Structure 1
Amino acid sequence: MLNLTPVVRNIIILNVIVFILQNMFRSLHVTEILSLWNVGTENFRPYQLFSYMFAHGGFMHILFNMLALAFTAPILENYWGAKRFLLFYLITGIGAGVFNIAIDYFFLDGNSFGYMLGASGAVYGVLMGFGMMFPNMEIMLLIPPIPIKAKYLVFVLGGMSFLLDRSGGVAHLAHLGGVVFAFVMIQYWRSQGGRGGYF
């Protein structure tokens, strides 16, 4: 039985509500409004750097993200507290979007994606944070049902992201951005003597 902490539970509920609204009101283009569009398009709006991480492209997309959150994020929230965890989640999610846009704009001629959506950037940030904070804690995978240490879980999931979709439909740069922002935040907290240190 999962012990969902308050912030994690509310994040999951919000994502599910948004997903339901996306599917109920397709004619109102809810998905397009919430998604993060390429800055080179006329559809880009700054608020999308926040809204995109609460919308999803399909059932498996939201299922994977919410399961990853449910299994790892409560441990971080219990350790850091609700406010610090929420700050971490939002910054890694927004940072993932900023990272994706910046790499696309400065290094990929501004045409590597049309729009993106999903909590994956923030989720990868959480996974990175979990791996850094509790490197030797073992997590039981669903498929296959074997234990794996947190410090290896990040690499396994990162590899799966690239192997399972080479079509360009996955925002790999956003995943990397979430990881990068998580790493930087935790290193900063450690330098300040906060609860960014090892457990």
Structure 2
Amino acid sequence: MFNQPIPAITKNLLIINGLFFLAALVFGSRGIDLGGILGAFYPESVNFRPWQIITHMFMHAPFPNLSHILFNMFALWMFGSTVEQTLGAKKFLILYFAAGLGSFILFNFTNYLQIQNLKEVVESSGVNVSAFIQTLVYNSSSIPMPNTSNPQAVNELAAYYLTPMVGASGAIYGILVAFGVLYPNAKLALLFFPVPVKAKYFIPIMIALEFFLAIQNYAWNPIAHFAHIGGAIIGFILVRAWKKNLHRTW
């Protein structure tokens, strides 16, 4: 199944992600952080720009952290090739971007819930929250710390507005779930779990683990577990709707 040639959309997505990563390296060496331009900030942040909703799907953690892009591109090649050949190029492209958008929406919705609670805490500590948010400019040389009785809550609130969301992981999880829906009996043996397990068991366990980790670390953290879940939900909904009209052999 995985010896097939890489179909066009999957190949081009691999190339585009690679080019974005190389561009980040080149611009980074010149003092320009593309993550702050193309990564997706929380929509209320002064750093947010509309194009980030799309471009964040092609940005990854900066060098030398290669594990982020390598894992995502490995999964895109491994599962995307089969899913694209099954769904066709058009549906596969829709799946990729729709899962990425679902990832962005769920991630920021859960952030919104957490931010609203933090705003109340920070406001009660003597901070003008609206004015403070306007000072949170990405890569600013210094961020003025307001007088507050709760600096921990202030720093946590600032992190939501100053940390861009990057990565194709939401789109990848959509593809991963799509593979599980299309080929539930395919046996998977990945590097970190070498024992073959059917996709219909393996993938739900992965999603459940993501949800557990998201709940355990609900406050801001560098791994956007809810983003993964958002992509997975969209992938499941789309492919379940499409599967009934597919005529394929296994």
TM superposition score normalised by structure 2: 0.70
1:53-132 equivalence runs, <5 A:
53-57=57-61, 58-105=65-112, 107-109=113-115, 111=157, 113=160, 114-132=163-181
- Give the counterpart letter for 2:32 in structure 1: L
* Partner secondary structure for residue 51 of structure 1: helix
| Structure 1 position 197, deviation (Å) | 9.7
Q: CA 1:45–1:194 in structure 2 vs 1: closer, same or farther (change >3 Å)?
A: farther
| Structure 1 position 156, deviation (Å) | 4.3
Distance 1:188 1:143 in 2: 31
Distance 1:183 1:141 in 2: 21
Residue 20 of structure 2 corresponds to: 18
Distance 1:90 1:196 in 2: 24
Residue 30 of structure 1 corresponds to: 34
Q: Percent identity?
A: 32
Residue 123 of structure 2 corresponds to: none
Q: CA 1:117–1:197 in structure 2 vs 1: closer, same or farther (change >3 Å)?
A: farther
Distance 2:93 2:83 in 1: 10
Distance 1:148 1:160 in 2: 18
- Give the counterpart letter for 2:168 in structure 1: A
> Does the 8 Å CA contact 1:133/1:197 hold for their aligned counterparts?
no
Count how many residue pairs are aligned between Structure 1 and Structure 2.
195
Distance 2:53 2:245 in 1: 27
Please provide the CA RMSD for this pair.
2.6
Residue 49 of structure 1 corresponds to: 53
Query: Unpaired segments of 5 or more residues in structure 2?
Result: 117-156
| Structure 1 position 169, deviation (Å) | 0.8
> Does the 8 Å CA contact 2:56/2:167 hold for their aligned counterparts?
yes
Do structure 1's residue 171 and structure 2's residue 175 form an aligned pair? Answer: no
- Give the counterpart letter for 2:76 in structure 1: L
Distance 1:119 1:152 in 2: 23
* Partner secondary structure for residue 109 of structure 1: helix
Q: Compare CA radii of gyration and give the structure with the larger one.
A: 2
Q: CA 1:14–1:8 in structure 2 vs 1: closer, same or farther (change >3 Å)?
A: same
Query: Which has the bigger relative contact order, CA under 8 A and spacing at least 6?
Result: 2
